[in-house]
């Protein structure tokens, strides 16, 4: 297959190719998650979604990092595959590809800045308003807009966890600039 020819080029070319894939087929985010019996957490993620599993396997091989591929069945009958890098692997991949990103360079920079801010802090240290500010900065860069009533329970728990009463939160901050 033609896509496997990418494996024959040098590391700089592979990294630039991977950046192009993330720019066009991917997303970069700080996601909220709620494990059972624990507080709400924030996890950096870089993901690529495509209908061609071989293509994603090639991207995974180029990245050379641990990742997770999930198959999703669509109502139209076509499968779509999701290649996900999270936590430290997301930070590593974003550090590598950031110089080659065009569309999502600001997204990557915000996540790398957040990782530097959190570096050296114990995992048990509570999140703060500054963590929320990083999450909101990413959200505003994304093309998504949040409709009233579409706020996740996990996000509301996060606000409560950092001491911001939901009734005092300015939800207009979630809108794209």
Q: How confident is the model at residue 53 (pLDDT cuts 50, 70, 90)?
A: confident
Structural fold of domain 2-174: Endonuclease I-creI (3.10.28)
30-39, 40-49, 106-115, 117-126, range with the lowest pLDDT: 30-39
Separation of alpha carbons 13 and 21, rounded Å: 12
Phi, psi of 48 (to 5 degrees): -130, 130
pLDDT at residue number 90: 93
176 compared with 137, residue with greater pLDDT: 137
Query: In terms of pLDDT, which residue wins out, 154 or 5?
Result: 154
pLDDT tens digits, 131-150: 989 988 888 887 654 554 55
The answer to whether the pTM exceeds 0.85 is no
Parse the chain into domains and list their residue ranges: 2-174
* Residues 158-169, mean pLDDT to the nearest whole number: 79
**Among 118, 120, 147, residue whose Cα is nearest residue 131:** 118
* Cα four-point dihedral sign 155, 140, 43, 25: positive
How far apart (Å, rounded) are the C-alpha atoms in residues 12 and 22?
Answer: 15
Q: Which of 140, 137, 139, 118 is nearest to 128 (CA)?
A: 118
Predicted confidence at residue 1, as pLDDT, reads 44
- For 71-105, b/e burial (b = at least 16 CB within 10 A) is eeeeeeeeeebebbbbeebbbbbbebbbebbeebb
Q: What are 85-116's pLDDT values in tens digits?
A: 988 999 999 999 999 999 999 999 999 999 99
Share of the chain above pLDDT 90, in %: 23
Helix, strand, or coil (residue 133): helix
């Amino acid at each position: 297959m033609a896509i496997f020819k990418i494996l024959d080029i040098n590391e700089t070319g592979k990294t630039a190719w991977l950046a192009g894939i993330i720019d066009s087929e991917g997303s970069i985010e700080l996601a909220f998650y709620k494990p059972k019996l624990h507080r709400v957490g924030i996890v950096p993620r870089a993901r690529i979604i495509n209908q061609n599993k071989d293509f994603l396997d090639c991207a995974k091989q180029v990245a050379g990092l641990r990742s997770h591929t999930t198959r999703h069945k669509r109502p139209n009958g076509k499968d779509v595959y999701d290649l996900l890098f999270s936590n430290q692997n997301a930070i590593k991949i974003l550090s590598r590809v950031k110089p080659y990103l065009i569309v999502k360079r600001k997204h990557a920079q915000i996540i790398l800045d957040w990782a530097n801010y959190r570096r050296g802090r114990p995992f048990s240290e509570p999140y703060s308003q500054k963590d929320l500010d990083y999450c909101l900065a990413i959200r505003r860069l994304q093309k998504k807009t949040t409709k009233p009533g579409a706020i996740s329970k996990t996000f509301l728990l996060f606000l409560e966890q950092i001491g911001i009463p939901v009734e005092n939160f300015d939800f207009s901050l979630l809108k794209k600039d």
